[in-house]
Structure formats: C-alpha cells, structure tokens
C-alpha cells in the first residue's frame, strides 16, 4: 500500500513516504525492498573480503614466497590488515559525502570501487612472474578495497535504519548481517569447492584467481540493485527542513560534537569486529596452519557455523525489538568473556564433534552482535551527521582492532607459542564491549535521534 507523496523542493531526494509533523509513515513494500537491496549489496561486498580470508594460505605462496609457512601467512594477513588502515580515510570521505548528497549515491559508488579492486586481484601476476611488483600490486588493490569499504557498512546500516519503522528496526537491520554471512558463505563455499576439485598445483597456478574474477559481474548486479533504491525518508525530511540546501557539516562537528557517541561506537564495534574476524576470517587459517587440520574440512565447519548464524539472525534481530538492544549485546559480551576458553579448548580437541560444538557456540554468541549492531549503531548519532560520524567511529575501531585481529593473533602465537591466544583476545574485547553496553542508551522502539517517529503504513 503506497502512501501519499509529499512535494519536496526541486533538489530534494524524491521518496514515496508521508512526512507529517508527528511521524513518518513508511511504505512496507519500499522498506522491504530497501532492506533487501542493501543486504544483497552488502553480501556482494563481503563475498570479496571473504574470499581473501579463506584462500589466504594459497595467496601467501603466490605473492610471498618463503620457506616459512607462518611468515607467508603473516605477510598475507599483513596485506589484509593494510586495507583496514585506509578505512578511516574512506569513512572520512564517504561518510560526510553521504550526509551531503545522500546515502544511495555513495552506496552505489562504494559498490563500484570494491568490485573493481577485487577483480584486479584476480589479474595480478604471481611473484614468480614479476617479482616484488606482485605483492605491491596486491597491496594497491587491497587499499582500493579498504578505502571503498570505509563507506560501506555505515552507509548500509544507516540506510536500513532510516527506512525502518521504529518498532521493527532490529529485525530489518538484522538482514544486513544476514547478507554479510551470505557473502561469506558464497566466498568460503567457492574456495572450498575449488580446494576439493582442483589439485594443489592447479589451485596455486590459476585456480585461486577464479573467485576474484567473479567480482566483476557480481559488482554490476550490486550496482543495479543500489541504483534502483530511493533515498531514505529521514534524509529526505532533513533536506526539506534545510529548504533544499544541504549545508556542509564540518568534520569537527562530526567528531568533537559527537565525542561521547563516538567512544561508545568504537567500543561496541571493537567487540563486534574482533569476534567477527576471529571466527569468520581467522579461524579457517588457524585450523589449517596452526592446528594442521585438513583445509577442506576446516572450511566446511566454518560454513556450517555461518549457516547456523544465518538461521538465527532474523530471530535474534526481532528479539532486540522486543527486549532491547542492550540486553542482547550484553549477553554476547558475557558469553565471550566466560566461554571463549572452553570453546577454543573444544576446537583444539580435534574431533569433528568438538570442533563443531566450539565453533557453533562462538557463532551463536556472535549473532548477539550481528543482529543488534545494525540497528544500535546508527541510533547513536543524529540524522544530520549520522553517516559521517558512524563511518568515522566504525572504521577507526575496525582498522585498529577488527581488521588487525588475524595479524595480531598470528604474531602473538608465534611470539609466545600459546595456542590459546585467540580466546584471550576475544575475552579482552568482551570486557571493553561490556563497558560500552553499560554506558549506551536503549534505542529499541524509539525514533532515531534528529528524526520524527517512524511508523509503518497499514497493509491493504
């Protein structure tokens, strides 16, 4: 059922939502389409990052020849981490731009850049062919990926949060990470298939390129989906209030004016991403290189855990609308604090049942973050600076703590010989996340800061 269209100033984004002094009435069909398109685009973005993580051991041999497998893996994860170092720069560019020109345009641009960077990796000659130029080109492509991703998560979560009715923001936001998991499963599944059907020599010589080359057509699909999206009602209303002129918001206002919310954002994103990258990006390599598990079986276990998380994702998202974001995130922090060591001991046991149980427990705890954060994080900031401030806080935290997780943990294990380092690292993150949850305000069922209440139009 469509709602009445409110005339907007000539330069304002056009949307099919009714804006009244009291509330924004959203069209259920448009809300569903927006959530679906943002999630599908996010899935394609994270397919690209997932492939890199799951084929890291092979990439180490292609781009960083060495007689030491640990040194190869460290070099590969170093390039992985380098992309996260430029994410704050991407956030400082794309975030303010999204607050200025609109969320939809920026999300389309990040889609193009991410696909191009990933496609380029599939074309880079090996170290054996061109020497040191190979890892340099790999690093350059990773930097393009990292820069574009600086505007991705904050933009996609802002987009869904601003479309969603207040009482369903948790459920609809949870589909964003559903898309992330789908992208990871697609990337991991393809790597697993290639590992199973190709010989080690074929995988090393040409097979590793296939997942990266698929990024080209996938990027075109993602771009099509995002170009069909309309601007969010919250952003359109903000433009109307400004009489069609979006004044430039100083970067200082996005940071100094939001310092408390930014600190909370950094803490929440820290626990979210350390545990996320530990489980979904680092664990396949941990099982293979550190515990000497068969690569295919290790990837299959991770795939099964992600499938379990996908099933739980929308249910936990809906739960956050009923009981609140804070209780759900707090359960996740407490779980990682007290269960990380037992879970990793199960994983190190080596039997399929023990590994599955340990990984499954960590995966379900991670759902407490993946289901709640897409709705909780945008609610920390007002509409005027939401995309920019969230991009800065999110990417600073991911760059310093999340994306560096595989590199830091691999180095810690190499330096100490303690195979329990992944558990200790997750426990430390849980403590910081728990403090952030304690200090944050509950946002479930409430309007976004700076926006009118948002309700869903009755279905016909």
Which residues contact residue 314 at a Cβ distance below 8 angstroms, ignoring those fewer than 6 apart? Answer: 171, 174, 175, 178, 371
d(CA 60, CA 77): 9
Running DSSP on this structure, what letter comes out for residue 124? P
Most confident by average pLDDT, 238-247, 345-354, 416-425 = 416-425
- Which residues are bridge partners to 26 per DSSP? 456
pLDDT at 24 over 60: yes
pLDDT at 210 over 80: yes
Instruction: pLDDT band for 9, please (50, 70, 90 cuts).
Output: very low
Please state the three-class secondary structure of 368-406 as a single string. Answer: HHHHHHHHHCHHHCCHHHHHHHHHHHHHHHHHHHHCCHH
Q: What is the pLDDT of residue 438?
A: 96
Question: Mean per-residue pLDDT for 171-195?
Answer: 88
Question: Mean per-residue pLDDT for 339-358?
Answer: 89
**CB-based contact 104:230 (threshold 8 Å):** yes
pLDDT at 413 over 50: yes
Question: Mean per-residue pLDDT for 402-410?
Answer: 83
pLDDT at 425 over 90: yes
Question: Mean per-residue pLDDT for 446-455?
Answer: 84
Structural Rg of the chain based on CA atoms: 21
User: How do 18-19 and 454-456 pair as beta strands?
Assistant: unpaired
Q: How much of the chain exceeds pLDDT 70, in percent?
A: 88
Question: Would you state the structure tokens that stand for residue 320, as one six-digit string?
Answer: 């956050």
Give the pLDDT confidence of 61-117 residue by residue, as tens digits.
888 776 666 666 667 767 766 777 788 888 889 988 988 888 888 988 888 888 888
Q: Which of 220, 190, 181 is nearest to 208 (CA)?
A: 190
CATH class name, domain 26-244+252-441: mainly alpha
Q: What is the pLDDT of residue 14?
A: 45
d(CA 343, CA 341): 5
Q: What is the pLDDT of residue 12?
A: 41
Kindly list the distances between the CA atom of residue 151 and the CA atoms of 72, 77, 91, 147, 154, in Å, as whole numbers in the listed order: 30, 22, 5, 8, 6
d(CA 227, CA 351): 47
Tell the residue number behind the tokens 């329990």, with chain if given. 420
Q: What is the pLDDT of residue 300?
A: 78
Instruction: pLDDT band for 35, please (50, 70, 90 cuts).
Output: confident
Most confident by average pLDDT, 32-36, 191-195, 293-297, 339-343 = 339-343
User: Hey, what long-range contacts does 86-89 have (CB within 8 A, 24 or more apart)?
Assistant: 86/143, 86/146, 86/147, 86/150, 86/399, 87/146, 87/147, 87/149, 87/150, 87/395, 87/398, 87/399, 87/403, 88/150, 88/392, 88/395, 88/396, 88/399, 89/147, 89/150
Please provide the size of the chain in residues.
Answer: 460
Q: Is 11 helix (H, G, I), strand (E, B) or coil?
A: coil
Question: Would you state the structure tokens that stand for residue 380, as one six-digit string?
Answer: 């920390």
Kindly list the distances between the CA atom of residue 82 and the CA atoms of 58, 85, 200, in Å, as whole numbers in the listed order: 18, 5, 28
Between 182 and 240, where is the model more confident? 182
Running DSSP on this structure, what letter comes out for residue 458? P
Per mean pLDDT, which range of 104-118, 291-305, 380-394 is the poorest? Answer: 291-305
Between 21 and 67, where is the model more confident? 67
């Amino acid at each position: 059922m469509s709602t009445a269209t409110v005339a907007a100033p000539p330069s304002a984004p056009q949307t099919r939502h009714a804006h009244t002094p009291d509330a924004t009435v959203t069209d259920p069909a448009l809300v569903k389409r927006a959530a679906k398109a943002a999630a599908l685009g996010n899935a394609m973005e994270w397919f690209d990052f997932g492939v890199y993580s799951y084929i890291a051991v092979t990439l180490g041999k292609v781009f960083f020849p060495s007689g030491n497998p640990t040194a190869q893996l460290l070099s590969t994860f170093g390039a992985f981490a380098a992309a996260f170092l430029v994410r704050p720069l991407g956030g400082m560019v794309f975030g303010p731009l999204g607050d200025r020109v609109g969320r939809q345009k920026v999300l389309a641009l990040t889609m193009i850049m991410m696909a191009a960077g990933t496609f380029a990796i599939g074309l880079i000659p090996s170290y054996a062919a061109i020497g040191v130029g190979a890892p340099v080109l790999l690093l350059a492509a990773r930097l393009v990926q990292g820069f574009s991703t600086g505007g991705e998560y904050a933009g996609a979560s802002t987009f869904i949060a601003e479309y969603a009715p207040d009482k369903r923001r948790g459920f609809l936001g949870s589909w964003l990470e559903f898309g992330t998991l789908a992208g990871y499963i697609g990337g991991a599944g393809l790597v697993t298939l290639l590992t199973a059907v190709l010989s080690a020599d074929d995988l090393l010589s040409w097979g590793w390129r296939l997942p990266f080359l698929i990024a080209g057509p996938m990027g075109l699909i993602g771009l099509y989906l995002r170009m069909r999206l309309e601007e969010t009602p919250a952003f359109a209303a903000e433009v109307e209030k400004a009489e069609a002129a979006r004044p430039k918001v100083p970067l200082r206002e996005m940071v100094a004016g939001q310092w408390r919310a930014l600190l909370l954002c950094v803490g929440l994103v820290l626990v979210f991403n350390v545990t996320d990258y530990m489980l979904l990006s680092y664990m396949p390599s941990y099982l293979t290189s550190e515990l000497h598990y068969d690569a295919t079986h290790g990837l299959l276990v991770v795939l099964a855990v992600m499938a379990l998380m996908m099933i739980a994702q929308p249910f936990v998202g809906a739960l956050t609308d009923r009981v609140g974001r804070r209780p759900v995130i707090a359960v996740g922090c407490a779980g990682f604090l007290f269960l990380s060591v037992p879970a990793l001991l199960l994983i190190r046991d080596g039997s399929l049942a023990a590994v599955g149980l340990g990984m499954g427990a960590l995966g379900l705890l991670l759902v407490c973050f993946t289901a709640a954060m897409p709705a909780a994080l945008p609610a920390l900031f007002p509409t005027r600076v939401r995309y920019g401030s969230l991009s800065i806080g999110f990417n600073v935290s991911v760059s310093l703590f999340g994306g560096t997780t595989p590199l830091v943990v691999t180095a810690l294990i190499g330096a100490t010989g303690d195979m329990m380092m992944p558990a200790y690292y997750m426990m430390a993150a849980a403590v910081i996340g728990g403090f952030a949850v304690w200090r944050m305000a509950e946002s479930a069922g409430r309007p976004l800061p700076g926006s009118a209440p948002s309700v869903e139009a009755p279905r016909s």
